[in-house]
Amino acid sequence: MNIASTSLLTNKPRFPAIGGSGALNSNYMSVLVFLDQADGHIKKSSFEAANYAAKVAEQLGTSAEGIVLGTVNDDLATLGNYGL
């Protein structure tokens, strides 16, 4: 058994082939992305990372979640435009 590409509990591949059905797969955890902020505003690079995380999550058939530390003055609902 190849540990790097197989789940030890289910003996199923950890990552489906890209271009699969895209259906939500409960065997995978959410993709977590850290959103960096400065002076209460989320940095542009974090929006780009959120978009990338959402695309990876879609390929894996799971969801993307974001975490930001500190106080943010921006409207966090706008992150929905980037897939979070």
Tens-place pLDDT, residues 24-68: 555 668 899 999 999 999 999 999 999 999 999 999 999 999 999
Structure tokens at 56: 């990876």
* C-alpha distances in Å from residue 5, one per residue of 13, 14, 19, 47, 75: 6, 6, 18, 30, 39
Q: What pTM was estimated for this model as a whole?
A: 0.65
pLDDT band at 23; cut points 50, 70, 90: low
The reported pLDDT for the residue numbered 29 is 86
Q: Give the C-alpha separation, 54 to 11, whole Å.
A: 26
The reported pLDDT for the residue numbered 5 is 40
Phi (first) and psi of residue 71, to 5 degrees: -95, 130
Tens of pLDDT, residues 10-20: 555 555 544 44
- Closest among 48, 47, 36, 44 to 72, alpha carbons compared: 36
